[in-house]
Structure 1
């Protein structure tokens, strides 16, 4: 669509960089709806015929869901224009304001970006080659900062690269072109300088992937103290932060190390980790029975789980899987583990062959542990035996020798060759 804008004087948003600040401009001099960083709020009037600019943009034209709110004189739900009362002669200034309001309602920030694009000299063009001016000169004429002008300039440049609008070189001062719809504007414009940095670009990309506006994510990133306050005060915010950290931990090895170090240095966290580790291990024991149909006995041998044991393990596991993320699994894991372990013992004791094999496995396990410990017992590192000698040492070794002799004699009697 072709739109007409007034050319009596260059107009861009106020020089105030802080959205919360308010600027006043008289109605007789305002030529376009006031905008701050790409946003506009419908002005209010007072007795001295002043209009006030403030706040965020789309409050005037959109609801939070992206739909423009109904207003007096707006289109009806069926798309037809409402009946209007007959009007008499309309003041020329009022009529011009209404036309330019319509331009902004249809195009949003594009109307302002066009003023910059057709008036600011692009890089590579000398001052004498074009009637256009530099961004700094344009900002001085407009009464705002060069940084703000450049944000509109960069938004137009990105859109031109995508073929949405003409390139700067194709535009002359005062030229009118067809502008994109208003809802496309925020895809190209950012009210924050940080959005142009590598960090800002990454944040903006992540925000778009999550389906939110980049400006919201950039605002949070620029105010970590506010983020900390929200996390400390609001459980749902803390939960969102926890989920985000877990996702980041998968690829950020430095963060993994730092977080592990923090846990190791905090007693409360160490206890919590130990408790959760135990619960996870017990749940894994029960899950193994359900998924593989096998179970490990107390002595360490792996046997096929009977149908009754598998059914009981599956029942407990289903209860655990139904728990919400915020619910403690400790008690449920302990109950499932104890129940299954008891059934395993009963299974072993009910089968004579399994019972014998269990005792044999347990004996071998104990023998291997004792052998390993005794092999590690050495006097090679003692330079002076007199310095380490204790009566208790000799007594314990003599008792161990006697126990071994008894054990050996008993095993010899049980030997088939005896």
Structure 2
């Protein structure tokens, strides 16, 4: 192998020198070197054939052995740069003319390597990519190949997690996507069960959190009372264990244990206080009475057909009447 550090003063053949010069131009300017070839050779729109020696983009693409669309992407990149005063306009260029070219680091700001990039959708993707600190071309490449994206999500947990987080971020500003996602969940029994389980776990954690942070407990009958110190400390202990779980760990079992422990302590707190125990039983009775009253009030005889009623209905109402009468008598005996 030749010593790359030694100084070579021998003469260089012209083909090698030409390659080196071409390489240097591309290394310094990137795609601008190719854009210049298009800009000085392709006829601008609106110019007649006889007005310029330049040729059409289609003819240029045939000579180049590539698509006319690819040629036009270079053409449009030069056009945008010319509007910004970075390069000369097409009309100022003649075939074979050389001009000073911009640095390569600004090339990607003007060149759209894919047709999607010049569409409103492409602009939105490019803007989001720049906000995330990545090159727009990477995001556009993914957007143009959803099958590859699907394969990566299916095969790689890391990609799936990134997709999940992106979807959650998008849901806030995309009601249509949110609706479709909810429908998908409703249609899938396994997902419905998982959502219900997570919601239940979340409610349990919130119950424990309210006790730990606010110092109040809600009894089974719905009363709100101050939590004893021991109960609050136990709630704080369980809550700290849940908060220390890693993102990937299931909180369901921890939430169930915390909830059951705290609820048991709440029950003991109520039962250990005679006055509180009476209030709790009274609250439960009122709750049941309100529910029964509401249900009975929903029964209506208005506009009912005679053949709607059956003997069994009457029998049940009579039994209910007797039960209510017995309940009233029992309460009257206690309050007198």
Partner of 1:58: none
Q: Does 1:253 align with 2:179?
A: no
Partner of 1:413: 333
Q: CA RMSD in A?
A: 2.4
Provide the rounded CA distance (Å) in 2 between the counterparts of 1:227 and 1:371: 58
Partner SS state of residue 43, structure 2: coil
Partner of 1:133: 55
Provide the rounded CA distance (Å) in 2 between the counterparts of 1:226 and 1:86: 48
Residues 315/258 of structure 1: CA separation in 2 closer, same or farther (3 Å cut):
same
Task: Indicate which of 259, 273, 284 corresponds to 1:351.
Answer: 273
Q: Does 1:152 align with 2:58?
A: no
Residues 185/375 of structure 1: CA separation in 2 closer, same or farther (3 Å cut):
same
Q: Does 1:232 align with 2:154?
A: yes
- Which runs of no fewer than 5 residues in structure 2 stay unpaired? none
Partner SS state of residue 217, structure 2: strand
**1:221-269 per-position Cα deviation (integer Å, ceiling 9, x unaligned):** 2222222222222222222221121122111111111111111111111
Partner of 1:280: 202
Q: How far off its partner does 1:330 sit?
A: 0.9
Q: Does 1:295 align with 2:225?
A: no
Residues 340/164 of structure 1: CA separation in 2 closer, same or farther (3 Å cut):
farther
Asked if the contact 1:382–1:388 (Cα under 8 Å) also holds between the matched residues in 2, the reply is: no
Task: Indicate which of 256, 262, 269 corresponds to 1:340.
Answer: 262
Partner of 1:21: none
Query: Structure 1 length as normaliser, TM-score?
Result: 0.73
Residues 282/129 of structure 1: CA separation in 2 closer, same or farther (3 Å cut):
same
Q: Does 1:315 align with 2:247?
A: no
Residues 386/209 of structure 1: CA separation in 2 closer, same or farther (3 Å cut):
closer
- Which runs of no fewer than 5 residues in structure 1 stay unpaired? 1-71, 74-82
Partner SS state of residue 119, structure 1: coil
Provide the rounded CA distance (Å) in 2 between the counterparts of 1:305 and 1:161: 71
Mapping for residues 14-33 of structure 1, pairs under 5 Å: none
**1:165-216 per-position Cα deviation (integer Å, ceiling 9, x unaligned):** 3333443433333322223322322222222222222222222222222222
Q: How far off its partner does 1:279 sit?
A: 0.9
Q: How far off its partner does 1:103 sit?
A: 1.2
Asked if the contact 1:204–1:218 (Cα under 8 Å) also holds between the matched residues in 2, the reply is: yes
Q: How far off its partner does 1:106 sit?
A: 1.3
Provide the rounded CA distance (Å) in 2 between the counterparts of 1:142 and 1:413: 106
Residues 161/356 of structure 1: CA separation in 2 closer, same or farther (3 Å cut):
farther
Residues 310/156 of structure 1: CA separation in 2 closer, same or farther (3 Å cut):
farther
Residues 341/230 of structure 1: CA separation in 2 closer, same or farther (3 Å cut):
same
Provide the rounded CA distance (Å) in 2 between the counterparts of 1:402 and 1:389: 17
Partner SS state of residue 40, structure 2: helix
Provide the rounded CA distance (Å) in 2 between the counterparts of 1:340 and 1:290: 10
Asked if the contact 1:279–1:333 (Cα under 8 Å) also holds between the matched residues in 2, the reply is: yes
Provide the rounded CA distance (Å) in 2 between the counterparts of 1:175 and 1:365: 91
Task: Indicate which of 6, 19, 37 corresponds to 1:97.
Answer: 19
Aligned length, in residue pairs: 334
Partner of 1:195: 117
Provide the rounded CA distance (Å) in 1 between the counterparts of 2:281 and 2:309: 42
Greater share of helix residues, 1 or 2?
2
Residues 300/196 of structure 1: CA separation in 2 closer, same or farther (3 Å cut):
same
Mapping for residues 165-204 of structure 1, pairs under 5 Å: 165-204=87-126
Residues 343/170 of structure 1: CA separation in 2 closer, same or farther (3 Å cut):
farther
Partner of 2:321: 401
**1:134-167 per-position Cα deviation (integer Å, ceiling 9, x unaligned):** 3233333433322111111111223333443333
Provide the rounded CA distance (Å) in 2 between the counterparts of 1:356 and 1:167: 91
Provide the rounded CA distance (Å) in 2 between the counterparts of 1:142 and 1:285: 71
Q: Does 1:116 align with 2:38?
A: yes
Provide the rounded CA distance (Å) in 2 between the counterparts of 1:306 and 1:338: 17
